[in-house]
Amino acid sequence: MLTPYDEFPVHQASRPFSYIPSTDYNWDDGYYFGVFSPAEGVHLSTGARINANSDMIGGYALLNVRGHQTTLRFNRCWRRNFNVEVGPWKVEFVEPMKRIRLTLGPNDSGMQFDLMWEGTSPPFLEEHHVATNRGRRTTDQSRYSQPGTARGWIALGSKRWQVEPQGWHGARDHSWGLYAERPPLSPVASLLPPRETDAGPKRALRFWTCFRSEPFSGFWHVHETPDGEQVKMNDVFGTPFGGTLYRGWDAGPVALSAVRHDIAIDRATLMLRRADIELTDCAGGIWQQTFEPAAPPWVVQTMGYHPGSWKDGGTFFTFHGSEELAIEWDHFDFSNQPCPYEPYRVSGEAAATTFGEGATRGATVQGPEYLCKVTTRAPDGTIGEGAGQVEFFLNGRHGRYNPDGS
């Protein structure tokens, strides 16, 4: 089946774009966009993924207002319409990798928006992600991330926010390939040999950020073992450290070579309180950054990735009774975290994956996605103020930040 993308001379396989070079149900392609303001305590997260092998495109619009979280979820069958749109939600690539229009029309949740997302520097292509288990590739993915800003408006019921670049910031990524096994469309673990337990170093810390603190913007991430080592790992992220800073579009990239961090966390919850960062660029220059959360983090479980995030127990990759449009929404008060959260109908082996990484402690849930105020000090002393999105979590023991592994 032909798609609009087949018009362009960009094929890298002998088949049309509607044909996917993998029969794995975990092969997907999609986007994440963030638009946020620390002064307002508002973080809009929206995106979608195409699972070609289940013939579904599914997504979400999640608005976190100081911990009060409204999530709209939607999906439909993909091959009937190749545009990046599902019901009232639509993405238009006005100028690829630079200006992207995001719209959400009227719907029962009361959330709407019309935004022009604008990159403030080029996207950063992360090191290719690969992970294996018993000889099978479970991750084989490319991803690029990009900082930005936005203009337009966001509304929730009678409340309306005017979005302007002076006070609003943005982050986004685009990834494709095999990311991770996504129940319920994944092998039944009880029918397979035990997973490898000695497949290399384990990840205990993840710190990911897209930020804008004029005149600087950029992206970097770091992953460490329980002993605080930054080494290649056999998991969905893999990369020890990587990133680039920019002074706008025209000044050229500042490649980064190393990071040191001093992260303040709440010892009872392991939630981020502040991060002081020292980055070394490839010319030996030292950059300093400070990240301070400006609102409670948003909780990923309501987005639609995890079993039980949809009310029938499925995900936005599964069929919900309509080939044209399935849509639903809910609201949660996550202003005091950790807090109780019970997924919708989910049972069996899928339940073990419901909460995702770094997101649960006992019977409660907490968000790993932080809206942060950001201060950046360049090697020449120039200081930039702004905001960024930070994904931070600890998995088990980390010798410095979680020595008892609680």
Domains annotated on the chain, with CATH = 28-394 (2.40.370.10)
> Which amino acid would we find at residue 12?
Q
Cα 281 to Cα 288: distance, rounded to the nearest angstrom: 11
Beta bridge partners of 277: 261, 289
Return the DSSP state at 18: T
Cα 128 to Cα 237: distance, rounded to the nearest angstrom: 9
353: pLDDT strictly greater than 80: no
Q: Where are the beta strands (DSSP E) in 85-165?
A: 85-86, 89-95, 99-104, 111-119, 124-125, 129-133, 136-156, 159-163
Cα 217 to Cα 393: distance, rounded to the nearest angstrom: 23
Of the two residues 284 and 357, the one the predictor is more confident about is: 284
351: pLDDT strictly greater than 60: no
Q: In 3-state terms, the chain is what percent helix, strand and coil (to 5)?
A: 5, 50, 45
Residue 346: the pLDDT is: 65
Cα 173 to Cα 32: distance, rounded to the nearest angstrom: 5
Residue 132 neighbours by CB under 8 Å, 6+ apart: 138, 199, 234
Residue 119: the pLDDT is: 97
- Mean pLDDT confidence for 387-402: 97
Return the DSSP state at 351: G
If one counts every other C-beta atom within 10 angstroms of the C-beta of residue 225, the result is 19
Residue 311 neighbours by CB under 8 Å, 6+ apart: 328, 330, 344, 345
Residue 21: the pLDDT is: 86
Residue 210: the pLDDT is: 98
Cα 188 to Cα 368: distance, rounded to the nearest angstrom: 28
pLDDT in tens, 292-336: 999 999 999 999 998 999 999 999 999 999 999 999 999 999 999
112: pLDDT strictly greater than 90: yes
pLDDT confidence bin for 188, thresholds 50/70/90: confident
354: pLDDT strictly greater than 90: no
pLDDT confidence bin for 357, thresholds 50/70/90: very low
Provide φ and ψ at 156, rounded to 5°.
Answer: -140, 105
194: pLDDT strictly greater than 80: yes
Cα 181 to Cα 27: distance, rounded to the nearest angstrom: 9
145: pLDDT strictly greater than 50: yes
Residue 195: the pLDDT is: 87
Q: 218 burial class (0-12, 13-18, 19+ CB within 10 angstroms)?
A: buried
pTM, two decimal places: 0.94
235: pLDDT strictly greater than 50: yes
pLDDT in tens, 78-98: 999 999 999 999 999 999 999
Least confident of 17-21, 219-223, 244-248: 17-21
Tokens of 189: 């673990």
Least confident of 234-238, 272-276, 389-393: 234-238
355: pLDDT strictly greater than 60: no
pLDDT in tens, 50-76: 999 999 999 999 999 999 999 999 999
> Which amino acid would we find at residue 74?
F
Q: What's the chain's average pLDDT?
A: 93
Contact in structure between 10 and 17 (CB atoms under 8 Å):
no
Tell which residue, 271, 242, 247, has the closest CA to residue 259. Answer: 242
Return the DSSP state at 114: E
Least confident of 11-15, 77-81, 114-118, 278-282: 11-15
